Amino acid sequence: MRDGDTIVALSSGALPSGVAIIRLSGPKAGTLLTDLTGKALPVPRQLTLASIRTGGEILDRGLVAWFPGPHSFTGEDCAELQLHGSRAVVRLLLRQVAAQSGVRLAEAGEFTRRAFENGRLDLTEVEGLGDLIEAETENQRRLAVSRLDGALSRQISAWRMTLLDLRAEIEARLDFSDESDVDIVLPERVRCDLSALRADLESARDSLDRGRIAREGLRVALAGPANAGKSSLLNALIRSDVAIVSDEPGTTRDVREVALDLGGQLVLLIDMAGLRETDSRAEAEGIARARREIAQADLVLWLVAPDVPATELPDLDDGAEVWRLDTKADLGASVSANALPVSALTGEGLDGLLAKLTEFVTERRLGEPLLLSRERDRQAIEAAMRALVEAEADIERLELAADSLRQAGDALARLTGELDAEMVLDRLFSAFCIGK
């Protein structure tokens, strides 16, 4: 990326399409717009019908909009052209515009990066925008909109203001201890506010798993011994033959994820190798991957079949919920107590299983929009909490307590990108599409 350039890109979907939106941002955006339309700049933030000309001939007719900086998405002068979504129109326009001195095609995420660098968005809002673009379910949309709208940013700002107030109380006693109106003894409310802030951060941290599930999906592992009917159940639940089914043990050797939208929540059904002893190195690797998926799942459907020897469920360190299913119910009676009988062949129990899954995800549905959903969020909040614990322990040693409070504030500032932003920018913006 080169600072000072004017950038241009197609910001709408794949061509051909009904409408194509061309976006420009940078110091030459206004000049380019007047050159393309042959008219003075239109009224800001109003769509105007215009003929678009290149090389003296009309290329197309469409709507144009002018967004003078700093009141634009990027904070720079911006322009947008809404034309017919013709490959020929868009290709020629981009070629003509990018041929101008100081103008070039935008890189992936460059418009949003400029918005960040110009203070129009902070890092958490940028992440919310990326999540919104990729959202597939209602819960993902709500979580992304909340983040993009600045809900997390406002909460971080409130936490940091509390930290500044606490630091001011401590540092006043360090800097002005000889003043008659400064009491050397900290008031009790400092300890109370410090404890309350730590509890608030802990509560936010504890909500992260629900936020992670909303953003990334609820991971449901279909697990059990070989030939228990995992792939057949997966195909039956999604009503599609995405997984190979065979009566030969060890048919499934890799992990397969299939997305399902249940009540607005993304659910990832994970098919995997059956657990058993094997001399095959390829199957053994599949079984090892299956065990890792079981350990990481939010819900484990443990399948037991009447024609397959039983296998013990592996230990689950994180306490994921486990439902026992008796598959192949068409072959005979259930083989385990308190299990749900299902049959991929006849459909028995499938509606009940889907209803139970829907109820399970509904119980975890977002009420108020959650704030935290990323591993980066967890790391920052836990770093701030550790610093607060140290501040509480050192509350009588004012210099150490003040430094711990500064470290807590710095940890929170990293979330919004006010510190160490370069550590995450390149990776974050590379995931954006061209034109955003």
Query: How far is the CA of 268 from the CAs of 77, 181, 258, 271, in angstroms?
Result: 43, 62, 6, 10
Q: Is 8 exposed, middle or buried (0-12, 13-18, 19+ CB in 10 A)?
A: buried
- Residue whose tokens read 């100081």: 102
Phi-psi domain of 122 (left: phi exceeds 0; alpha: psi -120 through 50; beta: other): beta
- Written as six digits, the tokens of 44 are 């800001």
Count CB atoms within 10 A of the CB of residue 56.
6
Q: pLDDT in tens for each of the 436 residues of the chain?
A: 567 899 999 999 889 999 999 999 999 999 999 999 999 999 999 999 999 998 889 999 999 999 999 999 999 999 999 999 999 999 999 999 999 999 999 998 899 999 999 999 999 999 999 999 888 888 889 889 999 999 999 999 999 999 998 988 888 777 665 555 555 677 888 889 999 999 999 998 888 888 888 888 888 999 888 888 888 888 888 887 655 444 445 445 568 888 888 878 888 999 888 776 776 777 777 777 878 888 888 899 988 888 887 777 776 666 678 898 888 888 876 656 678 888 888 888 889 888 999 888 877 665 555 678 888 999 999 999 999 999 999 888 888 999 999 999 999 999 998 876 665 666 666 666 766 7
CA distance linking residue 397 with residue 416, whole number of Å: 30
CA distance linking residue 107 with residue 114, whole number of Å: 11
Query: Which residue blocks in 297-374 are alpha helix, DSSP H?
Result: 350-363
Closest by Cα among 393, 356, 406, 340 to 171: 406
Q: Is 223 exposed, middle or buried (0-12, 13-18, 19+ CB in 10 A)?
A: buried
Instruction: State the DSSP H helix or E strand holding residue 115, giving kind and residue range, or none if neither.
Output: helix 110-117
